[in-house]
Copies of this chain bind each other. A is one copy, B any other.
Amino acid sequence: MFRALVVEDQTLMRLALMNEVQASFEECIVLGAETLNIATAELQNNHFDLVVIDPGLPGFDPTSQGDRVAVVDKIIEASPSAIHVVVTGSDNLCEADGFRQIGAAAYLGKTGLAPGVFRDVLDDISTKGFSLRLSRVVMTKPDYRFSVLTPREQEAIDMMAHREPGVKRKEIFSLMADRLAIDAGSAEKYYKQARAKLMRQGHPLPRGL
């Protein structure tokens, strides 16, 4: 059974990261720790295959490079056989190198760290040994979220809304089919159903229909 630990003080982010880890493994146990104390206690008593760390923890100065390295270093030394992924909001190349030198397998900026990216990061690690994803701004339009839509319908709307001009809808349906491992016809159906729901409720649809 794959065991992972997520060390992050921001609750919503911790839960989101735990979700990402869970989504990356068939069967697994994921623990979440808010503080270094909780984390070290767990690391002493149990074995972990993967540890995700945000170095900006309570009780440490987030601007002090020494504090940040100390946090990560302590965790790495307490779990030498695990894969260590550093996640931070204030990322930079210099710090990435530093963490890499003390044994981290990945360094990720929080901006641009979207659902699904974590899986890619793990692929990077197993193929190249290290994964570096610095923060970068990607969005040009906002994301829409409608409470009336099912997850599948929401995804269909999302992908269609981000369609580049000139790209046919059919192509989006194929893409969606690939990503969700379903039939292209089903993807089309979800999109149409979603669209119909929004129209029925008189919603102003995002541009691109």
Residues of A within 8 A of B (CB): 1, 5, 9-18, 20, 22, 25-35, 38-39, 42, 46, 56, 58, 62-63, 89-90, 110-115, 135, 137-148, 201, 203-204
Does more than half of chain A's interface fall in helix, strand or loop, or is it mixed?
loop
A32 touches B143 (CB 8 A): yes
Q: A34-B139, A139-B33, A203-B29 are in contact. Are A12 and B144 (CB under 8 A)?
A: no
Question: Which residues of chain B come closer than 8 Å to A145, judged between CB atoms?
Answer: 18, 22, 29-32
**Distance A145 CA – B31 CA, assembled complex (angstroms):** 6
Inside 8 A of A1's CB, which chain B residues have their CB?
201, 203
Closest to A11 in B: B114
Do A147 and B35 have beta carbons less than 8 Å apart? no
Shortest distance from the beta carbon of A160 to any chain B beta carbon, whole Å: 16
Known: A139-B38, A142-B38. A12 touches B20 (CB 8 A): yes
* B58 close to A114 (CB less than 8 A): no
Question: Would A142 and B89 be within 8 Å (CB), given that A16-B12, A27-B148 are in contact?
Answer: no
Q: Identify the closest chain B residue to A198 (Cβ).
A: B29
Our pick among B13, B32, B56, B137 for the contact of A34 (Cβ within 8 Å) is: B137
**A62 to nearest B CB, angstroms?**
7
Given contact pairs A32-B142, A137-B34, A142-B31, A10 touches B113 in the complex (Cβ within 8 A):
yes
**Please, which residue of chain B has its CB at the minimum distance from the CB of A33?**
B142
Q: Which of B15, B139, B144 contacts A35 (CB 8 A)?
A: B139
Could you list 11 examples of A-B contacts with CB < 8 Å? Answer: A9-B110, A12-B17, A12-B110, A18-B143, A27-B148, A31-B143, A31-B145, A33-B139, A35-B139, A39-B142, A46-B204
- Report how far A144 CA is from B143 CA in the complex, Å: 30
**Which of B39, B42, B147 is close to A29, meaning CB atoms less than 8 Å apart?**
B147
- A33-B139, A38-B142, A90-B62 known; A27+B147 contact, CB < 8 A: yes
